[in-house]
């Protein structure tokens, strides 16, 4: 998946050498230098890709929103449910009532389902606490999930996700508390690797998000943004102004904002699971991303309201069937470009000397099969930091 060369950057009859947690050599076996190896593993012609990276999830939460799904099928919309005090706010009630242990217990099967498909790095956001204590508890639960498993969890503080009931409609005052109370508490415990916000008519305006981004900058935390998911707000341009790691969703992004993202090196994160589940019809401008040479990532957006999806392979399939991305773009979207969306492009996402030895080993004849299958898991074996 190094890009620029052959399709998928594929190597045939290859050899990959590992020392400790890192790749030290990779290339055609016939050209390998003489190496003194403790162990040699013959993968019998299987394909090896970088371990998959799910760069946008909200997988730590409590409860279910299946009843809301029923309401939507009866005619309610995602936005009308949110405005009536359901939606994100109902998950906030469930998360505030859950202990850290309960959050870990409820979230574990979701993480394990991702891992079972070769995922070795997962981003997890807070955003269902909306007060300092509960936001910290969610992020601690996310870190705890990784502590006992062969997976890396990257955490994101999303205090500016929705307005909690106790804010009584005062969005500016709530944003002030995100910046002056929640973020300092999160940063004091070192619980977040980045800061995100939801820029939307039912959430926060670009001016309010700007305050959050300025506070993040004061803590030297990188930013990313839920931008132009349901309507055009100018969030992607704001993200670019702050050199955001990524702008995510982007169904309604304008060409001018796409150009701004290109200049800033901001990754476009495609979330076809939410598009599918909300039966959205506005397609993200894939051709504009291609023309502007913007790296496109693909993620599950795993969350109880808009994308109860725990299959990154199915997200890849949807990126192809719904958004018309190619299978190769979809795989780059869950490896090299997803790594870049997390600011980890130097550590993971390709198979190159110096990178971590996070691998997914597949029972497939060609990598296009990874995006092709639906409900089919061809993973043979998973390696995390050289172990597995």
Q: How far apart are CA 227 and CA 301, in angstroms?
A: 13
Residue 6 per-residue DSSP state = S
Under the binding rule (CB under 5 A), the answer on residue 251 touching Fe ion is no
**Using CA atoms, how far apart are residues 323 and 177, in angstroms rounded to an integer?**
38
3-state secondary structure of 154: strand
Q: How far is the CB of 347 from ligand DI6 (least distance, A)?
A: 27
The secondary structure element, H or E, covering residue 15 is strand 14-19
Q: Read out DSSP for 335-380?
A: THHHHHHTT-TTTSSS--TTSB--EEEE--SSTTHHHH-SS---EE
Report how many residues bind Fe ion under the rule CB under 5 A.
1
Burial 348-370 (b: 16+ CB within 10 A, else e): bbbbeeebbbbbbbbebeebbbb
* Residue with Cβ nearer Fe ion (72 or 356): 72
Q: What string marks each residue from 220 to 249 as x (binds Fe ion by CB under 5 A) or -?
A: ------------------------------
- Give min distance, CB of 102 to ligand DI6, in A: 18
Least Å from the CB of residue 229 to Fe ion: 8
Nearer to ligand DI6, 91 or 246 (CB): 91
The residues binding ligand DI6 (CB under 6 A) are: 58, 87-88, 91, 161, 198, 226, 229, 274, 301, 303-306
Does the protein bind Fe ion through residue 301 (CB under 5 A)?
yes
From the list Fe ion, ligand DI6, none, pick the one residue 305 interacts with, judged by a Cβ distance below 5 to 8 Å according to partner type: ligand DI6
Residue 123 interface partner, choices Fe ion, ligand DI6, none, CB cut-off 5-8 Å depending on type: none
CB of 255 to ligand DI6, least distance (A): 23
260, two tokens = 């701004």
Alpha carbon distance 134, 358 (integer Å)? 32
Question: Does 54 interact with Fe ion (rule: CB under 5 A)?
Answer: no
Find which of Fe ion, ligand DI6, none residue 357 binds, CB within 5 to 8 Å per kind. none
């Amino acid at each position: 998946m190094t890009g620029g060369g052959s399709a998928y950057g594929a190597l045939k009859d290859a050899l990959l050498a590992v020392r400790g947690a890192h790749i030290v050599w990779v290339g055609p076996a016939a050209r390998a230098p003489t190496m003194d190896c403790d162990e040699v593993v013959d993968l019998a012609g299987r394909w090896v890709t970088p371990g998959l990276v799910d760069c946008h999830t909200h997988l730590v939460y409590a409860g279910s929103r299946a009843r809301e799904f029923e309401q939507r099928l009866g005619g309610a919309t995602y936005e009308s449910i949110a405005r009536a005090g359901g939606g994100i706010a109902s998950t906030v009630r469930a998360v505030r009532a859950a202990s850290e242990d309960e959050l870990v217990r409820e979230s574990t099967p979701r993480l394990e389902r991702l891992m079972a498909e070769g995922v070795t790095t997962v981003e997890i956001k807070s955003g269902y606490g909306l007060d300092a204590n509960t936001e910290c508890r969610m992020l601690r639960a996310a870190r705890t999930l990784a502590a006992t498993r062969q997976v890396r969890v990257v955490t994101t503080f999303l205090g500016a996700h929705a307005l909690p009931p106790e804010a009584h409609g005062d969005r500016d005052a709530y944003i002030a508390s995100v910046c002056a109370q929640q973020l300092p508490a999160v940063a004091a415990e070192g619980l977040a690797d980045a800061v995100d916000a939801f820029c939307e008519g039912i959430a926060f305006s670009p001016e309010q998000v700007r305050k959050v981004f300025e506070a993040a900058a004061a803590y030297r935390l990188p930013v990313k943004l839920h931008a132009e998911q349901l309507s055009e707000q100018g969030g992607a341009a704001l993200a670019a102004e702050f050199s955001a790691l990524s702008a995510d969703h982007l169904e309604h992004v304008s060409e001018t904002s796409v150009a701004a993202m290109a200049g800033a090196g901001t990754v476009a994160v495609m979330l076809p699971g939410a598009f599918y589940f909300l039966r959205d019809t506005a397609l993200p401008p894939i051709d504009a991303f291609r023309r502007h040479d913007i790296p496109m990532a693909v993620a599950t957006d795993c969350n109880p309201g808009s994308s109860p999806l725990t299959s990154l392979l199915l997200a890849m399939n949807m990126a192809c069937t719904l958004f018309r991305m190619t299978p190769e773009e979809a795989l780059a979207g869950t490896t090299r470009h997803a790594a870049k969306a997390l600011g980890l492009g130097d550590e993971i996402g390709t198979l190159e000397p110096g990178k971590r030895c996070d691998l997914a080993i597949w029972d497939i004849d060609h990598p296009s099969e990874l995006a092709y299958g639906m409900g089919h898991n061809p993973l043979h074996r998973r390696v995390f930091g050289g172990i597995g």
